């Protein structure tokens, strides 16, 4: 599994003003904790962390001065637009330690029934697994091309790597192939009502003329 040491520095300053200053310098404020050791405030290389998160979301190595720490990424906070990393939390972990994490599930293949209008629905986009820290898969890929109409893939059907066990409910549905459902049931009825309304003649009610219009009409009659 791919891991790389991300450059960090310890910091002592807290507060939003200091966090903004770090982000302006291309760094990310963070914290490392766990294993009964003292929590350490970190200043993290923002570009390196962002690049790392493109391919992995679990185990990471942090370069802190002359030493390296293995850690799990517990939380990454982004700005409102989901672009800039605002803060990152890391938990110390040993390589042979059993951990439970959530891993993304990705379907592979296209069921033939989708060509006839069936819809493949992914009910679970991630599942919880338990394994050693250095055996966490980046993703879990599932073959779905063989599914027939009303076919299902449950958590218990997932083919997991050796040493990895599912921690989610085994009877939870991950993928489901079913007939397309009408999204707007009332649409045909509404269209029919609109056609019926268009077919009926418009009801025109007489409008009482204004005093000026009445006077003008009488003058026209007198001319005739």
Instruction: Report pLDDT for 189.
Output: 54
Q: What angle do CA 153, 158, 160 make, to 5 degrees?
A: 170
* C-beta separation of 63 from 7 below 8 A: yes
Q: Which structural domains are found in the chain, ordered by start?
A: 5-93 (2.40.240.10), 100-178 (2.170.120.20)
Instruction: Report pLDDT for 183.
Output: 55
Confidence of residue 15 (pLDDT cuts 50, 70, 90): confident
Average pLDDT over residues 157-168: 96
Instruction: Report pLDDT for 13.
Output: 80
The Cα–Cα gap between 97 and 99 comes to: 6
- Identify the sign of the CA torsion 115, 118, 119, 123: negative
Instruction: Report pLDDT for 167.
Output: 97
pLDDT over threshold 60, residue 194: no
Instruction: Report pLDDT for 70.
Output: 94
- DSSP structural state of residue 168: S
Confidence of residue 204 (pLDDT cuts 50, 70, 90): very low
Q: Tens digit of pLDDT for each residue in 119-135?
A: 999 999 999 999 999 99
Instruction: Report pLDDT for 54.
Output: 87
Q: What angle do CA 147, 149, 150 make, to 5 degrees?
A: 95
Instruction: Report pLDDT for 221.
Output: 47
Confidence of residue 90 (pLDDT cuts 50, 70, 90): very high
Give the helix/strand (H/E) hosting 217: helix 211-223
pLDDT over threshold 50, residue 153: yes
State how far Cα 194 lies from the chain centre.
39
CB atoms within 10 A of CB 130: 14
What pTM does this model have? 0.70
Instruction: Report pLDDT for 4.
Output: 63
Confidence of residue 210 (pLDDT cuts 50, 70, 90): very low
Q: What is the average pLDDT value for the chain, to the nearest integer?
A: 84
């Amino acid at each position: 599994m791919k891991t790389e040491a991300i450059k960090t520095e310890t910091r002592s300053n807290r507060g939003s003003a200091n966090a903004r200053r770090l982000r302006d310098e291309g760094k990310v404020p963070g914290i490392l904790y766990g294993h009964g050791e003292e929590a350490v405030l970190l200043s993290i290389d923002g570009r390196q962390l962002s690049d790392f998160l493109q391919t992995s979301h679990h185990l990471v190595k942090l370069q802190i001065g002359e030493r390296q720490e293995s850690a799990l990424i517990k939380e990454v906070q982004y700005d409102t637009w989901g672009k800039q990393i605002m803060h990152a939390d890391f938990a110390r972990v040993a390589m042979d330690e059993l951990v439970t994490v959530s891993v993304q599930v990705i379907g592979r293949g296209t069921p033939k029934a989708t060509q006839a209008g069936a819809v493949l629905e992914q009910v679970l986009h991630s599942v919880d697994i338990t394994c050693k820290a250095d055996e966490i898969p980046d993703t879990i890929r599932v073959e779905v091309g063989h599914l027939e109409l009303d076919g299902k893939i449950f958590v218990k059907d997932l083919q997991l790597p050796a040493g990895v066990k599912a921690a989610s409910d085994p009877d939870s549905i991950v993928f489901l192939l079913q007939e397309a459902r009408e999204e707007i049931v009332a649409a045909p009825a509404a269209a029919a009502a609109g056609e019926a309304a268009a077919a009926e003649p418009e009801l025109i009610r007489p409008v009482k003329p204004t005093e000026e219009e009445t006077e003008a009409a009488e003058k026209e009659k007198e001319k005739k």
